[in-house]
Amino acid sequence: MEYTDTRDGSVRTDLKTAVLSGMNPATGGLYIPVRIPRLDDALLNKCYGPSFRDVAFETAKLYCADEIPDSDLQEIIADCYPFNAPVVPVDPVTYILELFHGPTCAFKDFGARFMARLMAYFNREEKKPLHILVATSGDTGSAVGSAFSGVEGINVTILYPKGKISYLQEKQLSTFTGNVRSLAVEGNFDDCQRLVKTAFTDTALRKKFRLSSANSINIARLLPQSFYYVYAALSVKCRSLHDNKIENPSIIAIVPSGNFGNLTSGLIAQKMGAPITGFVAATNVNKTVPDWLASGRYEPRESKSTLSNAMDVGAPSNHERITAMYTRDELKQFVASYWTDDEGTLEGIASCHERTGYIIDPHGAVGWQAWYNIRKGAMLKLMSGFPNSSENPGLTANIPFWAQSILDNKAVGIVLETAHPAKFGETVKRATGREPAIPDRLEKILNLPDRSVSIKNDYAEFSKWLQKNLSGY
């Protein structure tokens, strides 16, 4: 399998190089497969849902061909995923894909654990340590820190926006020790991301240290997120007729979206043959991509703080990958986009709980709100010639080809629940009157000491800190 660069299509490299370098230091471009391979029909046409590990292995081996023997890859998959991704029906046409059963209670565990083990595998013969730099808007950092904790030969530096993530999220980030450290940046997520990207293109720094990334900039974080799309879509395909008496429904994935890595993984899964008809990119007031789909103008902007903080991204990195795969006009054929504000997020948490009994986190709630509104009149209004203004929360004014299946009651939705609601207990209680129980694996970190270091939003200061602190490793 060959990989190329979003900014230079003539580039050809292998998976090891793409993973260990994170992004192309010569261009600042992101790595993508030269072609998206198709899954075996034997897997896609099974009359019963395959296991998650089977899906993960069958998907991963297509990207690791010739670089990782199947036996080694099976061991990596088994080590990565002692947990599952349950597909939970909450009403006749809605499923919740629970992605919070990993060690840090967020969907980032699926990508981070695979990436950590892949990096360790490729790095095992290197003498110089590999230094991972990662910017996080909430859950990425803790998943990466957990995945790499104690991994020999690899050190991790996590940058997060000081005071702009939940208390429990910050405790997860600020309590790491050993080879994992965190920096609290006086700025927003986009500032953190700029610092990291600048470091990757800093020739002097890269000559001194081996650097790589661990958020969805890195292809090894992105590809494994396609595993759960394939798994969920095949599971719903197998059970849908029994659940809702709809034969061959349109399967729509509703994706809470910030840096748009999760949606990109879904697009990859669809290209591989996963039976996903279309997508809803659901986000908060940081609606750069919905605005681009509506107007054709891509205008990055400063991110705004919201209750769904992991989606507070004003300049999403993976827009570059998405546009390397599809034109805007192509995307509009099968991707609907939706945005809401904090009031809508709270309404989504309350609505989901009241109508189904399910307690959903603020990010999943944005997805729930999108799907519920689409079914309850928003798509009909749009198709009747009354598009929503881009200034108001709601659907972007484009009609995907699957829109008629909504009106005909021939569609089912998979809402991605990206984090455990306990990570946002105060917000959930505000919406529902109930505070979700905290899993043991989260509760135990509450009494650990904070160890993060505060820095200004200044590359010179960040570079100085790196040169001082990485040199000892």
In a domain, 70, yes or no: no
For residue range 224-271, list pLDDT tens digits in order: 999 999 999 999 999 998 999 998 999 999 999 998 999 999 999 999
For residue range 136-169, list pLDDT tens digits in order: 877 788 888 999 898 888 999 999 999 988 888 8
pTM over 0.75: yes
Give percent helix, percent strand, percent coil of the chain, each to the nearest 5.
Answer: 45, 15, 35
pLDDT value of residue 454: 96
Query: How many structural domains are present in the chain?
Result: 1
In a domain, 10, yes or no: no
In a domain, 399, yes or no: yes
- Each as own residue / partner, the long-range contacts of residues 75-79 (CB below 8 Å, 24 or more positions apart, any chain) are 76/114, 76/117, 76/118, 76/121, 77/53, 77/114, 78/53, 79/113, 79/117
CATH of the domain at 138: 3.40.50.1100
For residue range 209-234, list pLDDT tens digits in order: 998 887 777 899 899 999 999 999 99
- N- to C-terminal Cα separation, the chain: 33
Cα 237 from chain centre: 23
What averages of pLDDT result for each successive group of 10 residues across the chain (473 residues)?
92 93 87 94 83 95 94 96 96 97 94 92 89 85 89 92 89 92 93 92 91 82 95 94 92 95 96 98 96 94 92 92 95 97 98 97 98 97 93 93 97 97 95 93 90 96 93 61
CA distance 71 to 54: 13
In a domain, 21, yes or no: no
In a domain, 22, yes or no: no
The CA radius of gyration of the chain, in Å to the nearest whole number, is 21
- Domain holding 375, by residue range, is 84-473
In a domain, 53, yes or no: no
In a domain, 282, yes or no: yes
Q: Could you tell me which residues are beta bridge partners of residue 184?
A: 160, 454
In a domain, 274, yes or no: yes
pLDDT value of residue 472: 57
